[in-house]
Amino acid sequence: MPNSLQPRLLLFCLDCPHRHIVFTIPEELRNWFRQDRTRLNLLFVASRNTISILTNKSLADKLKKKKLSDTHYIFKNIPVHNEFGMIATIHTFGKDLKWNPHIHCLIPELIYSLKKDKIKTFHHFNFTKLRKTFQFELIRLIQEAGGLKKPEEKNRLYKKHPKGFYVYVKFKSDDNDSNNASSNKNSKDIQGCINYFIRYAGRPAMAENRITEYNKESNVNRFLF
C-alpha cells in the first residue's frame, strides 16, 4: 500500500504527567456489544463521561441535587465545566485473543476551568469513584440504546459487581525511580507515555473472517488483506 494511503495516528500531547487508564466491562455484557459493533462507541462515551464527572465533582453534585436528567454527553451544554484531555483507543480482544472490548485512555493530569480561564493540576483519581461511575454511566447508556430492558438485568449487574466495573489506573511513578520498568507508564517524560500507550493502538488482532486457508500439517495460515 502506498505511504500516502496508509492510515496514520496523529497524537497531540501536552508535555506533562499523564495517567494511563483502562476501562473494562464484565463478561456478561460482551455479547451485547458483539451483536452490533456500532454499540462499541458507547464505551468511549462512558469513559469520557466518567472522567468528566471526576473532574467536575462539585458540578456533578449540584446537578444531582437539582435532579436534572442526564444527557448522552455529560456537561456538554454547560459552559462553566472543567475541560480535560483524553486520547482513547479500543481493544476488542484480551491477552487470550477472545472477544473482550475495553478502552485504553491517556489522560493529562491537567484540567482547564472555563469559568476561571485557568489551567490547574488534577492528579487525584479516586479508584472507587472511577469504577462505580463507569458502571453507572455504561449501564445508563446501554439502557438509552435499548439494552437491559428488564429491571432485573440491571439489578443483577449492580448486585454481581458491587464495587463497580473494573477500571485499571496506573499509579504515578516515583520520579527518582529510574530503574522502575513501569516508570514510562506514568512518567513526566511525555514521549515515554506515548511509546507505552501506542502499543495498544498499533497491535490489532487479525479477524477470523480474514483467514482464507489453514494448513494443519505445516501450521501455516493464509490471510486476506
Tens of pLDDT along 209-225?
666 666 667 655 454 44
Instruction: Express each pLDDT in 94-104 by its tens digit.
Output: 888 789 999 99
Taking the complete model, does pTM exceed 0.85, yes or no? no
Question: How sure is the predictor about 115, in pLDDT bands with cuts at 50, 70 and 90?
Answer: confident
> Which has more confidence, 222 or 110?
110
DSSP 100-128: EEEEEEEEESEEEETTTTEEEE-----HH
Question: How sure is the predictor about 79, in pLDDT bands with cuts at 50, 70 and 90?
Answer: confident
* Own/partner long-range contacts of 186-189 (Cβ < 8 Å, ≥24 apart): 186/17, 186/18, 186/19, 186/20, 187/17, 188/16, 188/17
Q: What is the spatial distance between Cα 186 and Cα 12, in angstroms, rounded to a whole number? A: 17
Question: What is the per-residue pLDDT for 214?
Answer: 63
Q: Which of 186, 56, 62 is nearest to 133 (CA)?
A: 56
Residue 8 pLDDT exceeds 50: yes
42-55 in b/e form (b: 16+ CB < 10 A) is bbbbbbbbbbbbbb
